[in-house]
Amino acid sequence: MKLFAPAKLNLSLDILGRREDGYHELSMVMLAVSLCDGLELDLTPRPGVLFSCSDPDVPGGEKNTACRAAALFLERAGLAETTGVRIFLEKRIPSQAGMGGGSADAAAVLRGLNELTGFPLSQEELAALGLRVGADVPFCLAGGICLAQGVGERLSPAPELPPCAIVVCKPPIGVSTAEAFRRADERTDGGKDYTGAVLSALRAGSLEAVGRTLGNDFEDVMRLPEVEAIKERLLRAGAAGACMTGSGSAVFGLFADGDAAKACALSLGEEWRDTFLCFPA
């Protein structure tokens, strides 16, 4: 079976506070986009998970979300003793970008294995398994555009994003999620309600309004010069708005004009290799 694993973007990301269990309460509007990894799944009669990838730097085993998802699925479906799976990953979503690449891969594996084995698990069971792999996996299973709350697992429909092209650019810097959360915990202003503003703009059906309301608490507390530089380039090129996604470091811009988006992607790509033109999925 061949599958696609779409990346995600955060149109908004609000960190509401630290919970007693150590996790953080979040409120986000999340969007699946056409930039995706490709996966091939083959069931085997020999138990275990065999993994290979187009990118030799991507590890297998317990460190890999797709492998963990496969092992959890086979165990939950009662197949771990009699069935294995071979996974090949064609990696296109950049790592350490805040685009949920690993979560997207895990979600695709769960969907694919469920179909290959005759749908033994419900969507609710798949989402519960996915949450054990990563907080973004339930959204990656759902796709589309959603309001995500809790740690990201409580999903509800959000109004559709108006038609647009999206330019995504990831600078060659990594972001420590733990450090970003630490800085957010030290805030004294309580942050902003980006999610409420984005939802209102989506309900109005205006891409310009959505662009004006994009926001991400991680971006606010980290203030990365590379992110600011890419945002400025996107806005100068005609983006309705630009924002960092997730904990970074990828930045995206929403364009009403597809030709302007294509020209911007070509220009940014001359400086930053990981630049992509994509669309809402």
Q: Per-residue pLDDT tens for 161-178?
A: 999 999 999 999 877 788
Q: CATH class for domain 165-278?
A: alpha beta
Alpha-carbon gap, residue 264 to 260, rounded angstroms: 6
Domain boundaries, the chain: 2-156, 165-278
Paired tokens of 210: 């959505």
Q: Going by C-beta distance under 8 Å and a sequence separation of 6 or more, which residues neighbour residue 180?
A: 218, 221, 222, 247, 248
pTM, whole model, 2 decimals? 0.94
Q: Nearest-CA neighbor of 167 among 233, 226, 104?
A: 233
CATH 1.10.3720.10 assigned to domain 2-156? The reply is: no
Paired tokens of 218: 């991680």
Could you read off the pLDDT tens digit of each residue along the chain, which spans 281 residues? 999 999 999 999 999 988 888 889 999 999 999 999 999 999 999 999 999 999 999 989 989 999 999 999 999 999 999 999 999 999 999 998 999 999 999 999 999 999 999 999 999 999 999 999 999 999 999 999 999 999 999 999 999 999 999 999 999 987 778 888 888 888 877 678 999 999 999 999 999 999 999 999 999 998 899 999 999 999 999 999 999 999 989 999 999 999 999 999 999 999 999 999 999 99
Catalytic site positions:
8, 136
* Other Cβ atoms within 10 Å of 278 Cβ, number: 19
Alpha-carbon gap, residue 207 to 161, rounded angstroms: 7
First-to-last C-alpha distance (Å) of the chain: 20
What pLDDT, on the 0 to 100 scale, is given for residue 110? Answer: 98
